[in-house]
Structure formats: structure tokens, C-alpha cells
Amino acid sequence: MRLAVLASGSGTILDAICSAGIPVALVVADRPCGALDVAASHRVESELVERKSYAKDFDRDGYTAELIGVLRGWDIDLVAMAGFGTILGKDLFEAFPERILNTHPALLPSFPGWHAVDDALAYGVKVTGCTVHLATEEVDAGPILAQEAVPVLDDDTVETLHERIKGVERRLYIQTISEILERGSVR
């Protein structure tokens, strides 16, 4: 299976994936970001499919079609989102059915969305965690592939809790991706 990683940020998850020896065929970023530098440092091919607008005029379907074209052009079989900030249109999920992975810093279905760690602390939970799931058109709602709990400490801040979750996330995501690549299928 040929793996592509979609990224938008600093590339810490991408770095963990590459450092673990997982073969990444392509990294795609939606904006200039550190993940492109991480890809270069690991000698992984990358493409910038730049999102041109963050306003209401953003053409989600057009952007999604462009991304599908890039992924198909590289003969990608499996897609792993790694902090990818753009919500994609349904055509991507139809083009790669049950072959798009994502990770989330909470025990889904609790605390979906972009502010999961903040929301968990605000709610006062004693345990949160990390979820690896299949990405679907509905954000953070796809079938769960793996989860691991992380305790919430009394003196936790968003930053300290998120750092502990990230440690689990990197390990759990790598483990899940490795198992999928070994099997040759997601399930």
C-alpha cells in the first residue's frame, strides 16, 4: 500500500511516522508549513496543494478535486491525516473509501472538533485520550480503529494535557498505520 500523509502544521506527527520507518510515498500540505520541511529532511516527496481562501468563498469541492488528482497521480492507496486543517468534500471519501485515517486528541465520540483538549478540561473529565479513526465526511465521526486513555491531572493546563496526549497519539497512530500496512487493508 502506498501511503500519503496530509499535513498543515509543524509536522511532529509526520516526523514520528517517518522516524518509525513507515514508508511514506507522499506528503501533501494545504499551506506552506513545517511539515514540508520535515518531509524534505526525511527525503519524502511532497506537494503543496495550497488552499487559496479561508473565507466563505472557499471552493471546498474544487480543492477536494485537486487533492484527489494529486493523490491518484501518485498511485496512493492509504491516506493518513496528520494535523490537516482543511475539511474536505465528500468526493475524497468516495475516492478513498475507508482508506483515510485520522487521529483526534480525545476519546471519541466525546469532544469532537478542533478544541477537544480545551473542551475536556472545561467539562472536568478525569480521563481523556487519543482516538485513531477512519475519516468520513462528518468530522470526527468515523469508525474507531484504536483508542488509548490519558488521565487528566489536577494541575493540568491545555498545554500539559495536550503534550501527554500527543505522546500517546504518535505511538498509537504509528502502531495502527503499521498494522494496516502489514495487513494490506484497513480492516
Q: What is the rounded distance in angstroms from the CA atom of residue 115 to the CA atom of residue 117? A: 6
Where do you find CATH 3.40.50.170 in the chain?
A: 1-97, 102-187
Q: Is 5 helix (H, G, I), strand (E, B) or coil?
A: strand
Indicate which residues carry an active-site annotation: 104
How does pLDDT run across 39-72, given as a tens digit for each residue?
Answer: 999 999 999 999 999 999 999 999 999 999 999 9
Tell me: domain 1-97, CATH 3.40.50.170, correct? yes
Instruction: Give the CATH fold of the 102-187 domain.
Output: Rossmann fold (3.40.50)
Q: Is it the case that residue 138 has pLDDT exceeding 90?
A: yes
Output the pLDDT for position 157: 97
pTM of structure: 0.94
How does pLDDT run across 147-170, given as a tens digit for each residue?
Answer: 999 999 999 999 999 999 999 999
